[in-house]
Chain A
Amino acid sequence: MTGRPAGTGVPAPGRTHRARTARHLALLLGGAVFVLWAVATLTFFAIRLIPGDPAQAILGGPGSQASQEALDQVRSDYGLDQPLVVQYFAMLGRLLTGDLGTSYSLKVPVAELLGAQIGGTLLLAVCSLAAAWVLALALSLWSTGRGRIASALGQGIELVAAALPHFWLAAVLIAVFSTGLGWFPPVATGTPAGFVLPVTTLAIPLAGFLAQVMRESLIDAMRQPFVVSARARGESALGIRFRHTIRHAALPGISLSGWALGWLLSGAVVVETIFAMPGLGRTLLQAVTLRDIPVVTGVVLLVALVYVVMTVLTDLVARIADPRLAQEGAR
C-alpha cells in the first residue's frame, strides 16, 4: 500500500489498520499459550485419576508381577516418589524445553513416537477437510437457485450425511467398494488407493455439516442487491456464483474449519483403527489401554496444539476472505 494524499475523503488502510492486526495476532498467540498450559495442567491432574500404579504400567502392566524393589527403582527413576506439585513443575519445565518424556510401554521418547505418527494423521485430516469442502461447495452450489426439488434434495442429503457415524459409514464403504466392487483395499496399504476409503469416511459427515451452513449464507447472498447489480452488468449465473456469492457462502465454512479439524482428529481414532492405519489415533487408543501416561499426555497436547494453530489460521484466512472483519469497530 502506498501513502495517500491528504484530504481526499477516501480512507486508506494505514498504520492504525496494521497496528490493529498486530494487536489482534498478539492476543491470539497469548490465548494459544494459555490454552496449551491449561491443557497440560488438566491432563496432568486428570491422568492421576486413572486407577492403577504407573510404576506397574512401566514394568509391563499388572500381569508382570514385578518385585517391590523393581517398582521402587522405577518410581525413583521416573520421579514418581516426589510430591505431586514437584512432579507438576518438573513436567512444565520439561515441556518448556520441548521434552515430552519417554513412553512407558515402548521405552522410546514420546516426541519421536508422535513425530513418526503425526504426519499420517495430519495428512488424513487435511485431505478429509479438503474433500469435505469440495463436496460441501459442490452440493450447496448445485442445490441452490434451481428450484424446490433440488433444494429439498440437497437439504436431505446434508442432513443424512451429517448424521452418519464414522464406524457405520466405514463398514458400509468397505462392504460396497472393497468386498463388493473390489475398487479399493479394505485396509490402508500406504498407497493412494488405500487412502480413499478412510478419507471418504471422514469427509462425508463433515461435508454434510459444512454444506448446511454454506447453503444458508449462499441463499442469503443470492438475495442481496449486489447480485442484481452484477446481473445488470451482464454477469452470467456462473460468474455470479464464482465471483460473488461463493465467497460469501465460504465465510462461515472458514470459521468452522478450525473446529472441523479437531473433530476430524477425534474421528481419526475410529477410522485409523478400522482401516488399520498407523497414526496418532491408533497410538492414542493403544496408549490409553496400556496406561502409557506420557504418550497420552503427548497426544493430548499435540492435538491441542494443532487445534490452536488451526484456529489462528482460520482466523487469518477469514480476515483475508472478509476484510470487513479486520475493519470491525474501526469507526
Chain B
Amino acid sequence: MTANDADPVLELEQLRVAFGREEVVRGVSLAIAPGECVAIVGESGSGKSVTARSLLGMAGEGARVEAQTLRLAGRDLRGATEREWRGVRGGQAGLVLQDALVALDPLRPIGREIGDALRIHDRMPRAERRARTLEVLADVGMPDPATAVRRRSGELSGGLRQRALIASALALDPPLLIADEPTTALDATVQARVLELLAEVRGRGTAVLLISHDLAVVARLADRVLVMREGRVIEQGTVDEVLRAPREPYTRALIAAVPAEVPRGAPLSRPADSDANATAAQTPTAADRAASREGSPGSTPLLALDGVVKTFPVRGGGRFTAVDDVSLDVHRGETVGLVGESGSGKTTLARLALALTAPDRGAVTLDGEPWSALDEHARRPRRPRIGAIYQDALSSFDPLWSVGRILADAAGGAPGKGAGTGHPSRAATARRVAELLDRVGLAGAVAGREPLTLSGGQRQRVAIARALAAAPELLVCDEPVSALDVTIQAQILDLLDELQRERGLAMLFISHDLGVVRHMADRVAVMQAGRIVESGPAERVFAAPGHPYTARLVADAPRLVH
C-alpha cells in the first residue's frame, strides 16, 4: 500500500465475499486517505460493486463477508451488528448510486430524502435540519435550494437530481463517500460537471471510493486505480502508472477497448491473454476505405432526409419540435455518425429514417425514391432494405421466442411453413439461421436459447444477426453499445465495422458517446435541440469543431489522457 501522512479513512485487507459456494470477492485490500480518491475499475461481474457495498455492511442477502482488517474512520467493523452498521451508513460513509431518478424515492421531495439522513442519525430540531439540508444542497451546487427541496427527483434534470443524490449522501459530512457509477446515466457535459463536483468534495478532505467501468471517468477523478477481474485486484497503482503503462494484459485490453483515440477501422478488441499485434495487418488503409465507398458527392445517396420537421403535441397546448429542419444524406458504404445529448432529437431522427413515424414537413427518400411519403402498404415490401439495432436488445425481442425463431422470422422463413408456399423450407431456414449466428460470432447452439438466458453482448449480437437477416443495404444503429461493458462494446463495434466493410453497408450510427462515434463514423452530424448544428468529416469536426456546441461536447467528452 502507498504510504500516506494522514491516517487512512478506510483500511481494508483481504476482503472475501461469498454467496453460497460462489466467491465473488477474493481477497481485496485497499486503503484510502482523507482527500484521496481511489477508483476500482472492472467490468460487470468483477466484484467491484459488492466490494463497495461490503464497506457498508450491505453486500447482499446471504452474503458471507470476511476480512483481515476492515476499519472505517478508526473503527473495526468486522462482525458489526446490523444496528452498528446503521450507525456507520450515512454517518461514516455515504453512498451515491447511478441514476438519481430511481436512486431517490420518486414519490418524495428531495428535501425529505436529504433530511432523512439527519433525522436518523441525530435528533436535530426540524428547523436546524432544514437549514442543514439547504446548506448541503448549496454545497453541491444546486441552484435555488429553497425551491429545490420541494421537488421530487423526477422533476429535476439528470444533472441536478444527481447533485441532490450526492447531497443526500453528504448530509452528515461522512469521512468516506462511495460513488458507484455516479455518472454513468449522464450526458458527457453533465457528467463533466458532476465529476468536478466530486473532485471538489475530495478537495474538502473527504475520501472518495469511485466504482466505475469507465476508464475515462477514472482518469479524470482518481488518484489511484485498482483493476478488478473475477473478484481479484489484478493491477493497481497511480492513475498514470495504470493507464499509461499497464502491466497486465487484461488492463491493456481494457484500455485498448476505449474507442476515443483509436483511428477509424482499427480493431478495438483483442484477446485479453495474448499480445497479438497480428490484427494490425487487417487494418484497412484510408485508400482501401475510399475505394470501397462508391458514395461520393454527386451520386444518389441511399438515404436522404430533406428539410425534415417533426413535432409532438405537449399537454396543455403547443407543440414540441423534436426534429427541426434537418437535412442529412447517407451514402452506400459510409457510416454517418449522429451525436448529441439526450433530448436532442437523435432517436426521433432514427425513427424518421426507419419510417416508423412520418415527418410533419420535408421528406425522406430511399435510393432516390419516396420513402416517408409512401403509405405503409407500399413501403412494407421495401422495409428489408433498412435494418435497425437498438440499445436495449432484450426488450426488442419477444421473450417467449427462441433465438432461432427470432432469426427465422426476420429471414422471412416462418417455421412450420414448408416448401411450395413461397417460403424457404425448414432445412433452408435452419441453414440460414446457423449462417447468421456464425457471422456474428455466436455458436449454433444459441439458436435454441431464449434471449433472457443470454448475456448483454450475446443479445446485441443476436440483434445484429436479426438486422442482417433480411440482407439490408442500410443499418440504423441507435445507441447500439451504450448498455455494454467496454470490452464487449469493443467486440460489437469491431463486428459492425467488419460487416460494413464486407457487405458495403451504409450506416446511420447514433450515440451520445463521442469516442464511439469518432471511432465508427466517416462523417458526423452534431445535433442540438432538434437541429444539426454542424456536420462534416469525422476527423475534421472532432479535431477542429466549428460550432461552440460541438466544441463544448468535445471538451467535456471523457478521455484517457488529458
A residues at B contact (CB < 8 Å) = 1, 4-5, 8-12, 16, 19-20, 224-226, 228-236, 239, 243-244, 247-248, 321-324, 327-331
Cβ contacts under 8 Å, A321 to chain B: 107
Chain B window 46-87, contacts with chain A (Cβ cutoff 8 Å), 1 for yes, 0 for no:
000000000010100000000000000000000000000011
How distant is the Cα of A243 from the Cα of B119 in the complex, in angstroms? 12
Q: Which residue from chain B places its CB closest to the CB of A236 in the assembled complex?
A: B86
Interchain CB contact under 8 A, B105 and A230 = yes
A326 to B: closest C-beta gap in Å: 11
Alpha-carbon gap, A247 to B109, bound state (A) = 14
**CB-based contact A232/B90 at 8 Å:** yes
Q: List 18 A-B contacts (CB under 8 A).
A: A8-B147, A9-B157, A9-B160, A10-B143, A11-B151, A12-B147, A224-B102, A225-B97, A226-B104, A228-B97, A232-B56, A232-B90, A232-B94, A233-B117, A234-B91, A234-B117, A239-B120, A244-B107
How many residue pairs bridge A and B at CB < 8 Å? 107
Determine the chain A residues whose CB is within 8 A of the CB of B91 once the complex forms.
234
Question: Is B256 positioned at the interface, with any CB of A under 8 Å from its CB?
Answer: no
**Inter-chain contact B116/A243, CB cutoff 8 Å:** yes
Contact between chains at A229 and B95 (CB < 8 Å): yes
Closest residue of A by beta carbon distance from B88: A234
For B108, the chain A residues whose CB sits under 8 A away are: 244
Query: Is A233 a contact partner of B168 (Cβ separation < 8 A)?
Result: yes
Closest to B109 in A: A323
| A-side contacts of B147, CB under 8 Å | 4-5, 8, 10, 12
Q: A8-B143, A8-B144, A236-B86 are in contact. Are A229 and B168 (CB under 8 A)?
A: yes
When distances are taken between beta carbons in the complex, the residues of chain B under 8 Å from A239 are: 120
Is B120 a contact partner of A233 (Cβ separation < 8 A)? yes
Cross-chain contact A234 with B160 (CB below 8 angstroms): no
User: A233 contacts B107, CB within 8 Å?
Assistant: no
B226 at interface by CB-CB < 8 Å: no
A324–B152 CB distance below 8 A: yes
Q: Which residues of B contact A232 (CB under 8 A)?
A: 56, 58, 89-90, 93-95, 169
Q: Given A20-B315, A229-B95, 4 more contacts at CB 8 Å?
A: A232-B94, A233-B171, A244-B107, A248-B107
Give the residues in chain A near B9, CB-CB below 8 Å: none
Q: Report the count of interface residues on B (CB-CB < 8 A).
A: 46
What B residues does A16 contact at CB under 8 A?
A: 316
B131 at the interface (CB under 8 A from A): no
| C-alpha gap A324/B104 in the complex (Å) | 14
Asked whether A327 and B155 contact (CB < 8 A) given A230-B105, A232-B169, A233-B116, the answer is yes
Interface residue? B203 (CB, 8 A):
no
A234-B174 Cα distance, complex, nearest whole Å: 12
How far does the Cβ of B196 sit from chain A's closest Cβ, in whole Å?
17
Q: How far is the CA of A275 from the CA of B377 in the complex (A)?
A: 65
CB of B154 closer than 8 Å to a CB of A: yes
- Shortest beta-carbon distance from B136 to chain A in Å: 13
Cα–Cα distance between A40 and B8 once the two chains are bound (Å): 78
With an 8 A cutoff between CB atoms, is B98 at the interface?
A: yes
Q: In the bound complex, do residue B95 and residue A228 qualify as a contact, i.e. CB atoms below 8 Å apart?
A: yes
Q: Are B315 and A225 in touch, CB under 8 angstroms? A: no
- Asked if A235 contacts B120 (CB within 8 A), the reply is yes
B121 touches A234 (CB 8 A): yes
A16 to B317, CA, bound (A): 10
Top 4 closest A-B pairs, CB basis? A232-B95, A234-B90, A8-B144, A329-B315
Chain A residues lying within 8 Å of B155, measured Cβ to Cβ, are: 11, 327
Cα A321 to Cα B102 with chains together (Å): 17
Contact flag A226-B103 (CB < 8 Å), given A232-B58, A327-B155: yes
Contacts of B105 in A (CB 8 A): 226, 230, 244
Contact with A along B147-188 (1 / 0, CB 8 A): 110111011110010000100110100000000000000000
Residues of A within 8 A of B315 (CB): 20, 328-330
Query: B143–A225 contact, CB under 8 A?
Result: no
In the complex, what residues of A have CB within 8 A of residue B89's CB? Answer: 231-234
